[in-house]
Structures are given as C-alpha cells and as structure tokens.
Structure 1
Amino acid sequence: MAAPSIKRRMLVILLGIFAVVWMSVATITFMNVRREVRDVFDAQLAQAARVLATLVRDEVKEFGEDGSIADDALSIQIHDLEPDFMFQVLLNNTVVMRSQSAPLAPIWDRPGYKSLEESGNRWRVLRYQAAGNPAVIIVGGRRTERTRLVQSVAIEAMWPLLLALPVLALATLVGIRQALLPLRRVRDDIRRRTPEELGPVDTSTVPKEISRVIIALNALFARLVEALERERRFTSYAAHELRTPLAALKTQAHVALAARDDRQRQKAVENIAAGVERTAKLVEQLLTLARLDPPHAELRRDAVDLGAAVRDVVGGLRDIANANNITLVVDVHDGAVIEGDHAAITILARNLIDNALRYTPAGGQVSVTVACADAAAILTVSDSGPGIPEGERRAVFERFYRMVGSKAEGSGLGLSIVQRIAELHKAAIDLANRPEGGLIVTVRFPLRKERKS
C-alpha cells in the first residue's frame, strides 16, 4: 500500500472545497436568475394586461352580440414565438377576443397570477380587470420559454467559473509545491547525512507547523548520540577491564606449562581458577548492565518481600564473611513489601553487601537492616571500611570507576548496577560516612500499594 501523500491530500481537499463552493455559487446563481426572469416575465404580463385593457376599453362596441371580434386579424401569426404567449379578453365571463394560442374558454377565473397546465402546456397567467372597465384581461406565457431563458442565462453565467476550475487546480498544485519546499529541504538534509552525522537539523527556516516535529527529531538524534557514546564507552571500558584478567590468565597458563614441580604447577592452576572466577563475575556484571540499560530493561512488577530477599543474600555471603573474620549483623523487619523484580532486587542487595565485605578489613563488621518508615522500605548496609570521600560519592556510580589507592578487588561496576536497579524501581540511594569510620549506604524503596480486588 502506497504511503499517504500530504500534497495529494491537500490538493484533494482544496479542490473538493472549490467544487463545493462552485456548486453552491451555481445553485445560488440559478435560483437568482430564475427569480429575476420570473419577475421580469410577470412584469411583462402585467404591462401587456394593462395595454390590452386600455385598448379594448373603447372598443367594446365592436364586439358582436355573440361575443366575437369584428375581424380575424388576430389569426395571422407574425413571429415564431407567438404560440408561446396568449391573451384572452372577457366580457361577462365570455371570451370575446383571444390570441390564436389561447383556448376558447377562460383559462383562469380569479384575479392575480397563477401557474397552471392547459392542453399539455404549462402556463404562467395573469387575470386583470381595470377599475371602470367591463373587460377582463387574461395574459400568459408558456413556462417552457422561461425555463429556456433561465438555463441560457445561467449557463452563460457559469461558463467563466467552470473554466476557472482547471486554472484554480493548477494554481493550487503550484502553491502546495511551494508550501512544501521546506519539507523537501529537511528531507534532503537528512538524506545527505552519513550514519555518523547525528547533529541537530537547522530549524531557522522550518515553518512553525512542522517545527515541533523537527525538534522531536533533534531530540531523538541527541538520544542516539548519547546512546552511541554510552555504548562506545562501555565497549572501550569492557575491553580494557577484560584485557587485564585475560593477560593474567595467559601468564598463569604459561607458568603452569613451564612449571618444574607439582607445587608450582598447582599454584599456577589455582591462580588460573581464581582469574577465571573474577573474569566470569566481570562478564556477569557486564551482562547485567546490558540487560538493565535502556531501552532494553524489561523488569517484572511483582510483590517482593525486601526482607526475605535480603535474608537469602546474606545466607549466601555469610561464609565469605566468616572466612575473612568479618561480623555480619542482620536486622530485618517484616512488612517491607515493594513492587519490582525479585531477581534485580537480589542483585542490588548482593552487590551492596559484597562491596561492604570486600572493603571491610578483618575483624570489622558489616550491618544490614531492613525497616519501614514514611511509606518507604529502607535497606541500609553499613561497614567499618575506609568509607568514600565526599568528592567521590557521585563518581563511584560511574561504570568501571575505582577509587585511587583502593586495594579491594573489583571491576567498578557494582554500584553502577545498584544505581540502575534503584532507578528502575524509583528508589533513592544515599551515601554517607560513619563518624567512627566506614560507609553507610541507604536505599529507600516506595512501599507497594495494596490493590483493591
């Protein structure tokens, strides 16, 4: 199916309007012409009746006792249109004089105008009697003659308008083409661009009717530039981060191959296993970010018990805490039910607690609490590590960001993932340092509203 054309649509609409206007003008003109012709004919009938009444007033003596005229001069036809007109002169309601086309009996018996049919012909007649005159005059004309005259005048009046329609159509087409020139300029501008040219379209010469479309298009270009730049940075950072563990794996593999005793070989294999684990975790985090990045984020909206999810995460990390001699304290209150994706909430809690465990030294403590306050479910994770300087608290949410001097292992993606999951759940994150040392991370989720059944 062909795409709709604005030019064709405008042309059809305007020509339709012109046609309706033309038909309206033609109808009004025809009605006016018909009324004017009728008035002129009626005036002629009135004038003819007055003339006849004046002429026959003094000639009544010439009529015989049988009511006939003294001579037959009226029987001679002088003009071809005479049959379209007629008159009758009546005395005592008897026809004493008539034209050749008039019937023998009076055609109308009441004074005034009347449209009637006689002998298959339609007539417009006038019955008139002057004051003090015994003679009654009836004059008439065939309506067919009036109709021919009306049609002739109307056609003469309509011909110029009818001939003007093609001229109007051509002028309209040219006008529409000129009006759509800015659209063609925008089209040509976009068509000439390469995939790398995503700058805004110039709106200085764009009509205001389509300026909003161009503004929306420019906003789309800006989002594309941002998305492409984000993907470029992500790919660059990911390649850089993967290069280091892969190089380490390669080195350990060479060490294992060149080992001269089992202890050296075993150590190299253990290093390889640890490197594979770190690389797998990095790849997992990269995939998580890719899944959460717009517009690919597709999260479920289920009722999630935040406390239960946190208990599960703590259960999986308690062995790590014990192995590093870190006290893991958990205080979870019931009723903290939020709306969201259970898997994403689990990832958020695991990343926060895992970060706290990695930055907390041996003998330290990590506290995890879940509580409800002010229509919010609040997850708090605090540790006894080094904390984060105030000037870096915004930067730590950037991908692959690592604080200078940090000795803890990691890819710098954990807090980026936490922030993205929080955004998708309309949650707020706050970072603060403990007075006695360490970091407090607070995440406030809106509580799930009870739905009426």
Structure 2
Amino acid sequence: MGTRLPAMRLQSLRWRLLRTVCLAALLGLAVSAMLSYRQAQHEAEELMDGNLAQSGRILLALATDDPQQLDDLGARLATLASAGASRYEPLLEYQIGRNDGSLLLRSEHAPESPLSVAPGYSVIEHDGDPWRLLTLASTAGDFRVQVGQSIKLRDRAALEVARQAVLPIALMSPLLLLPLIYFSVRRGLKPLDDLAADVARRSAENLEPLAMRLAPLETQPLLTALNRLLIRLRETLDKERRFTADAAHELRTPLAVIKVQAQVAQLSIDAGDRQQALAQVLAGTDRATRVLEQLLRLARLDPLAGLPDAGDIDLAELARQVFAELWPTTATQAIQLHSDDSPLLV
C-alpha cells in the first residue's frame, strides 16, 4: 500500500499539474529573486557612491572654507572613525591637497593615489584589494579632495542590503503561492470531479448521453468518446433483448409441436401410430436443436461483418418444412395448408 500511493500520485492529473505548476512557479520565483538581488545590490552600490560623493563634497567645502583648520579636522574625523562603523557603513578614507598635487591632509589607511588625476570615479589597487575612489576639485581649482572605500567592504555591505531586501520575499512567496496554486488547480479540475460524480450516481440502466453544455472545452473530446461508448452499449443491450425475444418466439412453435406429438403418442392405442408420433417427436426435437444452433450462431456473428457461408434459400422448401411441423396442430383444428411446389430462391 505504501508503494502504491506514490505510483497513483504520479499517474494523477492533479498531482502532475501541481508538480509542473509548482516547479514553474518556484523557478520563476528563483529567477525573480536573483534579478531582484542583483538590482538591490546595484542600488546599494549606487547609494554608497552617492554617500561617497556627499562626503567628498563636505570635505572639499571644509577645506575651501578654512584651510587652517585641516589638522583639527583630521583629528575629529579620526575620532569618528575610531568610534566604529556598522556593516552598512564602510570606512571612508580620504586625501586633501592642492591643485598642484601637494598633500595637505591624509587619513591613516587612504590609498596613495596622485591628486592630479582627472576628477571622477576610478578603481585602483591598494594593499592587494580593489578600491573605489572619487576625486573632486573645487570651483576655483585650488583644492582637491579624494575619497575612497574598499570595494570588498562595499560589496559586503551591498550584499547584506540585498539579502535583507530579498530574503523576506523569498521566504514568504512560496508559503503564499503554493496554497494558492493548490486551490487553483483543485478548482480548475472540479469539472472532472463533477463528471466522475455524475457517472458514479448513474444506475446500470441509465445509458443516456452525458451533458456537454457546461463542460469545459478540454473535456469535450472525452465526453464525446464516453457518449459514443454509451450509445454502443445501449445498442448492444437492445440487440440482446431482441435476440432473447426472437429466440423465445422461434422455439415456441417447435416445442408446441413436440408437446402435441408426445400427447398423440401417449393417447395412441395403435403401435404404428405411437411409433409415428414418437418419430415426429424426435424430428421436432432435431428441428428445435437446429433452430437453437442457428440462433446461437447468429448471436456470435459480428454485426459489422458479413455472413461466413452466404447462399440462396428456397422459400418453398422452407414453407414445406414449416407445414410439416404445424401439421399435427392444424389436423386437430380442421385447418388445411397448401403450398406451391415451384422453387422460390432468395
């Protein structure tokens, strides 16, 4: 029983649909989560570039406003850096100098990059790790500021932001989507359940066609095939009923003749008459056996196939055989039977 249930589930249309739709939905969720993860990572990197530019502009404004306070500014910034930074806030390293490249102030771990490079973003190698740098120049062109962050730390912060943004959606979506898929598939297959219930409620005598008016388009070929089968079953049962009636009708006359001949033999005093009546009983029995064999042969015939040994039938000879069978009955009722001796073949 335990090994039979999984096999039944594999053959079930409901389980097959659930498996296919769930796999497709989970694959779509995985692709969507990956794209969302990359987009969130990109947005986090853009946000950190914006913070880098904002910090650089603040330092450039401070240096331009009062160059004499740069030493005090360095001490205060070092104090802020030593207070610790969160994982979403990579350490900021900077250099402040003049337009000619002379250095005025530099943080402890800032990359030693020339200040004379063109303003804008750049990527350099520092202590074996890549760094993201931004070079800014004052409006008057007398001061330059260079700020930078380790790309490794930036990527770690961006990945953490992206993970926090995507993880709740990735965890909640299957919990919400899978029950929705299950009930949707169950509701979509309800017409098949209704069809099965309709067939189960029917009695053995009810062979009327199944209703197709409210059936979905996909189930109409199945309903058409079932209705054709029901029509064939009804026709087969009608043929069996007609065969039973015909057999009873065909056997009634030979049996009546046999009964009459048996009564004649029972009532006959003369031995010759008794032997003749018994001979008629045997002949009637042979005719009844022959009729029964013919009926059974007809019952075994395929209605779509032709007769195996088709041939002509002499209706005159057949009429004489019938007259011979009916003679005992007609003789007692003063009925005369006449037939033409000329053959009539069909």
TM-aligned CA distance change 1:194 to 1:119, over 3 Å: same
**Aligned counterpart, 2:8:** 2
CA apart distance, 1:70: 9.4
Amino acid at match of 2:300: R
Equivalent position SS for 2:132: strand
Equivalent position SS for 2:319: coil
Give 2:180's match in structure 1, choosing from 153, 171, 175. Answer: 171
**Aligned counterpart, 1:338:** none
Is 1:359 the counterpart of 2:271 in the alignment? no
Is 1:38 the counterpart of 2:45 in the alignment? yes
8 Å Cα contact 2:315/2:345 also seen in 1: no
Give 2:237's match in structure 1, choosing from 228, 233, 237. Answer: 228
CA apart distance, 1:163: 2.3
TM-aligned CA distance change 1:85 to 1:76, over 3 Å: closer
CA apart distance, 1:234: 0.4
**CA separation in 2, counterparts of 1:408 and 1:107?**
133
Amino acid at match of 1:76: A
TM-aligned CA distance change 1:214 to 1:409, over 3 Å: farther
TM-aligned CA distance change 1:263 to 1:438, over 3 Å: closer
TM-score, normalising length: structure 2: 0.70
Give 1:348's match in structure 2, choosing from 310, 319, 341. Answer: 310
Is 1:77 the counterpart of 2:84 in the alignment? no
Count of residues paired in the alignment: 312
**CA separation in 2, counterparts of 1:59 and 1:201?**
94
CA apart distance, 1:260: 5.2
**Aligned counterpart, 1:213:** 222
Identity over the aligned pairs, expressed in percent?
Answer: 29
8 Å Cα contact 2:91/2:149 also seen in 1: yes
CA apart distance, 1:238: 0.8
8 Å Cα contact 2:207/2:231 also seen in 1: yes
Unaligned runs of 5+ residues in structure 1 are 64-68, 300-340, 361-405, 411-436, 442-453
What are the within-5 Å matches in structure 2 for residues 316-331 of structure 1?
none
Equivalent position SS for 1:100: coil
8 Å Cα contact 1:83/1:100 also seen in 2: no
What are the within-5 Å matches in structure 2 for residues 86-165 of structure 1?
86-89=93-96, 97-103=105-111, 105-106=112-113, 111=118, 112-115=120-123, 118-119=126-127, 121-128=129-136, 133=141, 137-143=145-151, 144-156=153-165, 159-160=168-169, 162-165=171-174
8 Å Cα contact 2:210/2:227 also seen in 1: yes
Amino acid at match of 1:236: A
Deviations 1:200-255 (A, max 9, x none): 33444433432443343233222222211110110121122123323433444565
Equivalent position SS for 2:310: helix
TM-aligned CA distance change 1:275 to 1:94, over 3 Å: farther
Give the number of the structure whose residues are more often helix, by fraction: 2
**CA separation in 1, counterparts of 2:52 and 2:23?**
43
8 Å Cα contact 1:57/1:133 also seen in 2: no
Amino acid at match of 1:407: A
Equivalent position SS for 2:79: coil
**Aligned counterpart, 1:28:** 35
**Aligned counterpart, 2:328:** none
**Aligned counterpart, 2:332:** none
8 Å Cα contact 1:126/1:139 also seen in 2: yes
Give 1:186's match in structure 2, choosing from 195, 199, 202. Answer: 195
Deviations 1:271-309 (A, max 9, x none): 344334433432332232222235xx7x7xxxxxxxxxx
TM-score, normalising length: structure 1: 0.56
8 Å Cα contact 2:41/2:162 also seen in 1: no
8 Å Cα contact 1:10/1:176 also seen in 2: yes
Amino acid at match of 1:152: V
Amino acid at match of 1:232: R
**CA separation in 1, counterparts of 2:56 and 2:276?**
137
**Aligned counterpart, 1:383:** none
Amino acid at match of 1:21: G
CA apart distance, 1:176: 3.8
What are the within-5 Å matches in structure 2 for residues 324-403 of structure 1?
344-345=307-308, 347-349=309-311, 353=312, 355=313, 357-359=314-316
Unaligned runs of 5+ residues in structure 2 are 1-6, 323-341
**Aligned counterpart, 2:319:** 407
Q: More deviation in 116-125 or 283-292? A: 116-125
Q: Which has the higher contact order (CA 8 A, sep 6+)?
A: 2
TM-aligned CA distance change 1:71 to 1:157, over 3 Å: closer
8 Å Cα contact 2:136/2:146 also seen in 1: yes
Equivalent position SS for 1:216: helix
CA apart distance, 1:102: 1.7
Give 1:268's match in structure 2, choosing from 266, 270, 277. Answer: 277
Amino acid at match of 1:359: A
Deviations 1:153-204 (A, max 9, x none): 5533552564243233333433444444443333333222221222233444
**CA separation in 1, counterparts of 2:73 and 2:54?**
25
Equivalent position SS for 2:177: helix
**Aligned counterpart, 2:337:** none
Equivalent position SS for 1:2: helix
**Aligned counterpart, 1:382:** none
**Aligned counterpart, 2:246:** 237
Q: More deviation in 8-17 or 24-33? A: 8-17
**CA separation in 2, counterparts of 1:116 and 1:10?**
54
**CA separation in 1, counterparts of 2:301 and 2:162?**
79
Deviations 1:409-438 (A, max 9, x none): 47xxxxxxxxxxxxxxxxxxxxxxxxxx99
**CA separation in 2, counterparts of 1:86 and 1:212?**
74
8 Å Cα contact 2:37/2:163 also seen in 1: yes
**CA separation in 2, counterparts of 1:271 and 1:221?**
47
8 Å Cα contact 1:29/1:154 also seen in 2: no
8 Å Cα contact 2:45/2:158 also seen in 1: no
**CA separation in 2, counterparts of 1:212 and 1:26?**
41
